[in-house]
């Protein structure tokens, strides 16, 4: 029989924080049961308010820090703790890095039964203003006033913001211009409950001094962009605008159809001597500095390999970089537009040793891998859910000499390492701080075939 927990909702008590959880939250215990306290740090004595009682644990709100940790700082963002974007702005940066190293270590222990040293997390050159893309929801409040901002923690209510410290300095200007444009031109924001109103989201991708703004609207007939173009021109000289139509009331930002409205269609970028183009729909790692650090390490790990499969290859940037260093590269990507993008990279950069395959890794990998008879390495960079079991089996059956695994989710990474350890040995594991101020961590791993 389950023990009945002694604390009740709305109880207030003082606790000492014992450790940090996988989302950077403080963890205390009371009568053997765990209490999760977001924004509390290890060693702190805190007054907390119980907000929910589960079967064997509690969630609490931090009311007051009675004895602050030396690792606590004042979060620079005024929206921190209300906005759902950042989790750990209250921690000194060094502590953020330690937390991520421990998260990776703990997940490996828990899901791969591996008790190993994990290298220190590679820092991001910028702890703030590092993102190259932002997506802000647009809503109207009960009186019709427009709110552009971020979703409140665990909610679909938008808190109005005038800047986001993870985005570039341009963000402030773009938000202000967009809000003025909507107000002056009586353009309505979409209301999730009534299903009425036009503008749902604005999405911006930036590169140096250029950007592409996508306005996500519910009504395809909406076309009043002239005043927006005029206003943006007063501040910016290099930008483009798209309209995206999303008629559905769901959690997905983009609908299927895009219409180019004005200016730049894509942003031109050049890295690792590869020329490439991105827009708001292309997958690109959000932190350029950390992306480049990871890609450099991948090139080093690939070494002199003759054949490389790049599974989950996105818009083909990594495949192109590996191909430019000499290997025959085979990218596999499920999204058609992303593969088209990869084909453009191949053409523009004259990469005759690159083959882009559009399809599901589950189906394409077994067919492709068979032909190399073990004479290949594989790079995998899957979404958060990790590798499909069939992909793991195909790797095990075809025995690439090396598996280079880039992961944005340490839990699924650890699960997959456990499955692959049947034939592979883990010989490199390095976390990277792709997302400072959040508890997310990117991890690069290299496994080699046991002899
Ligand atoms: C994390 S991104 C990696 C992109 C790329 N490696 C890069 O660094 O730019 C994951 C990619 O996997 C693709 N994807 C998801 N499931 C897939 C599947 N079953 N087969 C092939 N590609 C898939 C997604 O469309 C996405 O582009």
| Average pLDDT of span 225-248 | 96
Contacts 24+ apart (CB under 8 A), 48-53: 48/12, 48/13, 48/14, 48/15, 49/10, 49/11, 49/12, 50/7, 50/8, 50/9, 50/10, 50/11, 50/12, 50/13, 51/9, 52/9, 53/5, 53/7, 53/8, 53/9
Q: Where are the domains of the chain?
A: 12-67, 109-124+281-449, 133-270
pLDDT digits (tens, 9 = 90+) for 180-227: 999 999 999 988 788 889 999 999 999 988 999 999 999 999 999 999
pLDDT digits (tens, 9 = 90+) for 100-134: 999 999 999 999 999 999 999 999 999 999 999 99
Q: Which atom of ligand 1 is nearest to the CA of 291?
A: 8
Which tokens sit at 94?
Answer: 């060094």
pLDDT of residue 355: 98
Rounded distance from Cα 383 to ligand 1 centre (Å)? 6
CATH number, domain 12-67: 2.40.50.140
Q: In angstroms, rounded to a whole number, what is the distance separating the alpha carbons of residues 49 and 402?
A: 50
Q: Is the CB of 276 under 6 A from ligand 1?
A: no
Q: In angstroms, rounded to a whole number, what is the distance separating the alpha carbons of residues 250 and 99?
A: 33
Q: In angstroms, rounded to a whole number, what is the distance separating the alpha carbons of residues 414 and 116?
A: 12
Superfamily per CATH, domain 109-124+281-449: Vaccinia Virus protein VP39 (3.40.50.150)
Rounded distance from Cα 184 to ligand 1 centre (Å)? 41
Q: Is the CB of 308 under 6 A from ligand 1?
A: no
> Which helix (H) or strand (E) segment is 145 a member of?
none
Instruction: To the nearest 10°, report the CA torsion of 247, 250, 256, 257.
Output: 30
Minimum CA distance residue for ligand 1 atom 6: 313
pLDDT digits (tens, 9 = 90+) for 57-68: 999 999 999 999
Judge contact between 425 and 448, C-beta under 8 A: yes
| Average pLDDT of span 51-61 | 94
| pLDDT at 370 > cutoff 60 | yes
Rounded distance from Cα 280 to ligand 1 centre (Å)? 16
Instruction: To the nearest 10°, report the CA torsion of 46, 47, 51, 52.
Output: 60
Minimum CA distance residue for ligand 1 atom 7: 314
Q: Is the CB of 333 under 6 A from ligand 1?
A: yes
Residue 390 DSSP code: H
CATH of 133-270, one of 1.20.1440.230, 2.40.10.220, 2.40.50.1070, 3.40.50.2000: 2.40.50.1070
Rounded distance from Cα 96 to ligand 1 centre (Å)? 27
pLDDT of residue 2: 57
Q: Which atom of ligand 1 is nearest to the CA of 284?
A: 9
Q: In angstroms, rounded to a whole number, what is the distance separating the alpha carbons of residues 370 and 60?
A: 53
Q: In angstroms, rounded to a whole number, what is the distance separating the alpha carbons of residues 31 and 8?
A: 13
Backbone angles phi, psi at 217, to 5 degrees: -125, 160
pLDDT, averaged across the chain: 94
Q: Is the CB of 309 under 6 A from ligand 1?
A: no
Is there a shared CATH topology between the 12-67 domain and the 109-124+281-449 domain?
Answer: no
| pLDDT at 434 > cutoff 80 | yes
> Which helix (H) or strand (E) segment is 331 a member of?
strand 328-333
Rounded distance from Cα 382 to ligand 1 centre (Å)? 5
Catalytic residue among 77, 83, 361, 408: 408
Q: Which atom of ligand 1 is nearest to the CA of 388?
A: 19
Q: Is 408 a catalytic residue?
A: yes
| pLDDT at 11 > cutoff 70 | yes
Judge contact between 138 and 158, C-beta under 8 A: yes
Q: Is the CB of 361 under 6 A from ligand 1?
A: yes
| Average pLDDT of span 346-358 | 97
pLDDT digits (tens, 9 = 90+) for 134-192: 999 999 877 778 999 999 888 888 999 999 999 999 989 999 999 999 999 999 998 87
């Amino acid at each position: 029989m389950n023990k009945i927990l002694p604390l009740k909702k709305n109880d207030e008590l003082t606790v000492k924080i014992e450790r940090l959880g996988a989302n950077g939250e403080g963890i205390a215990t009371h009568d053997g049961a765990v209490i999760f306290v977001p924004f509390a740090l290890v060693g702190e004595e805190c007054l907390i308010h119980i907000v929910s009682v589960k079967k064997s644990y509690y969630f609490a709100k931090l009311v007051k820090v009675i004895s602050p940790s030396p690792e606590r700082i004042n979060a620079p963002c005024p929206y921190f703790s209300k906005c759902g974007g950042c989790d750990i702005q209250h921690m000194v940066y060094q502590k953020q890095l330690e937390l991520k190293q421990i998260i990776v270590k703990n997940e490996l222990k828990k899901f791969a039964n591996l008790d190993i040293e994990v290298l220190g997390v590679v820092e991001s050159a910028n702890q703030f203003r590092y993102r190259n893309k932002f997506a802000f929801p647009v809503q109207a409040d009960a009186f019709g006033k427009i709110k552009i901002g971020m979703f409140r923690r665990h909610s679909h209510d938008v808190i109005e913001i005038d800047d986001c410290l993870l985005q570039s300095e341009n963000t402030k200007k773009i938000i202000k211009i967009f809000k003025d444009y909507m107000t002056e031109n009586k353009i309505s924001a979409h209301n999730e409950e009534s299903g009425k109103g036009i503008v749902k989201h604005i999405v911006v991708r930036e590169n140096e001094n250029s950007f592409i703004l996508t306005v996500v609207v519910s009504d395809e007939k909406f076309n009043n962009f002239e005043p927006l173009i005029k206003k943006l021109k007063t501040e910016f000289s290099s930008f483009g605008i798209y309209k995206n139509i999303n008629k559905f009331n769901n959690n997905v930002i983009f609908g299927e159809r895009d219409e180019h409205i004005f200016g730049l269609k894509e942003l031109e970028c050049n890295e690792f001597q590869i020329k490439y183009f991105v827009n708001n729909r292309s997958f690109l790692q959000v932190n350029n500095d950390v992306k480049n650090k990871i890609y450099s390490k991948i090139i080093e790990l690939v070494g002199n390999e003759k054949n490389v499969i790049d599974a989950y290859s996105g818009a083909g940037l990594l495949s192109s970089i590996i191909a430019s260093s000499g290997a025959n590269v085979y990218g596999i990507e499920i999204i058609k537009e992303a593969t088209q993008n990869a084909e453009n990279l191949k053409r523009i950069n004259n990469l005759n040793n690159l083959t882009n395959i559009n399809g599901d890794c589950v189906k394409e990998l077994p067919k492709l891998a068979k032909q190399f008879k073990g004479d290949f390495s594989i790079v995998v960079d899957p979404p958060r859910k990790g590798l499909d079991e069939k992909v793991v089996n195909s790797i095990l059956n075809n025995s690439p000499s090396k598996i280079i695994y880039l992961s944005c989710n340490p839990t699924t990474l650890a699960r997959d390492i456990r499955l692959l350890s049947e034939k592979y040995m883990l010989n490199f594991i390095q976390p990277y701080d792709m997302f400072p101020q959040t508890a997310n961590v990117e991890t690069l791993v290299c496994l080699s075939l046991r002899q």
